[in-house]
């Protein structure tokens, strides 16, 4: 089918102008996905889209027909790319696969985004979950990927965490530290990250400008992961992903602690 460029551009500009109009007249939220739009419900989003559809009809434009007729053009057009959360939501409304919420899928993001989006609690909200499930088949797969990437996000240069700011190593260094000092375990519908705190501090000190004492290091780490739920006992931090807490037996705790202790003693020996 031949695309009528004049009609397409004329309608496109009318849609963009109408979005600006309804923001003021009907208090339709546009904004940025990561600064709160992810907290909205899909029903709230659809009500805003219904307002847009209604206003466009007054000007002789059927938004559904426009998307059907120019679908290939719309999802390649810079003017319809991720300039606002509401525009993303409109694209998502008409095509759940091509309409990428927030403009970039989580699976295509760096590790810091996994840390920050879990801290923001995307998984607690309707639109946040829809964003997540554009990258994963289910929430369990998301929780697992987050558990495996969270500490790397903490050390990522993209981050603004106290520990990450001081880390001067490479990504390979960070991956090596995480492998040596932590273990991820699945329990029921969530995952626990176990971190040997003394080993973690020792390894990070090799690539850090900061000179931590143990108490300061723990305080800094707690601040960096807040408000993600965690527990510290006997120099082992447990970070809970997918649930607020998961209790294990003392026998299993000691087994995990001993496994990480071996790595810690090996690291000390190699210094």
Report whether 116 contacts 153 (CB < 8 A): yes
Q: What is the pTM of this model?
A: 0.91
Residue given tokens 């696969």 in the structure block? 97
Q: Both 94 and 111 in a single domain?
A: no
Kindly list the averaged pLDDT for each block of 10 residues, start to end, along the chain of length 271. 72 94 91 92 97 96 96 92 88 96 94 96 98 97 98 86 85 94 94 96 87 91 96 96 96 93 66 48
Note the pLDDT of residue 43: 97
- Show the tokens assigned to 128: 């946040």
For residue 89, the 8-state DSSP code is H
The arrangement of strands across the sheet holding 190-196 comes to: 182-187, 190-196, 236-241, 230-233
Evaluate whether 166 touches 208 at the Cβ level (below 8 Å): yes
Res 1: pLDDT:
40
Structural domain total, the chain:
2
Do residues 99 and 112 share a domain?
no
pLDDT of residue 2: 46
One domain, residues 58 and 130: no
CA 230 to CA 249: how far, in whole Å? 17
pLDDT at 267: 56
Decide which of 66, 86, 103 is a domain's last residue. Answer: 103
Of the candidates 248, 239, 261, the residue with the CA atom closest to the CA atom of residue 180:
261
CB 157 within 8 A of CB 164: yes
Instruction: Assess contact for 154 and 163: CB atoms under 8 A.
Output: yes
Of 76, 142, 75, the residue nearest 109 (C-alpha)? 142
Count CB neighbours of 4 within 10 A.
Answer: 12
**Residue 94, domain extent:** 5-103
Rounded to an integer, what distance in angstroms lies between the CA atom of residue 22 and that of residue 48?
9
Within 13 Å and on the Cβ side, how many CA atoms surround 190?
14
Same domain flag for 87 and 131 = no
Asked whether residue 241 falls in the same domain as residue 113, the answer is yes
Do 148 and 222 reside in the same domain of the chain?
A: yes
Torsion sign, CA atoms 160, 166, 171, 176: negative
Same domain, 177 and 123: yes
């Amino acid at each position: 089918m031949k695309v009528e460029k004049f009609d397409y551009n004329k309608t496109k500009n009318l849609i963009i102008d109408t979005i600006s109009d309804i923001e003021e007249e009907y208090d339709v939220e546009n904004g940025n996905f990561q600064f709160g739009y992810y907290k909205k419900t899909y029903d709230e989003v659809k009500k805003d889209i219904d307002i847009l559809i209604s206003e466009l009809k007054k000007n002789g434009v059927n938004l559904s027909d426009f998307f059907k007729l120019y679908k290939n053009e719309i999802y390649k057009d810079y003017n319809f790319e991720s300039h606002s959360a509401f525009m993303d939501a409109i694209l998502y409304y008409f095509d759940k696969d091509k309409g990428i919420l927030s403009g970039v899928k989580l699976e295509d993001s760096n590790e810091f985004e996994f840390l920050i989006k879990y801290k923001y609690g995307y998984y607690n909200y309707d639109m946040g979950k829809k964003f997540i499930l554009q990258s994963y088949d289910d929430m369990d797969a998301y929780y697992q990927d987050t558990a495996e990437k969270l500490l790397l996000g903490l050390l990522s240069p993209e981050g603004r965490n106290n520990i990450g700011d001081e880390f001067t190593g490479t990504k390979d260094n960070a991956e090596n530290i995480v492998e040596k000092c932590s273990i991820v375990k699945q329990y029921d519908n969530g995952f626990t990250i176990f971190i040997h705190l003394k080993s973690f501090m020792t390894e990070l000190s090799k690539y850090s400008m900061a000179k931590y004492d143990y108490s300061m290091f723990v305080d800094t780490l707690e601040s960096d992961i807040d408000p993600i739920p965690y527990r510290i006992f006997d120099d082992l931090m447990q970070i809970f992903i997918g649930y607020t807490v998961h209790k294990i037996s003392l026998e299993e705790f000691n087994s995990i602690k001993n496994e990480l202790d071996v790595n810690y003693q090996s690291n000390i020996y190699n210094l």
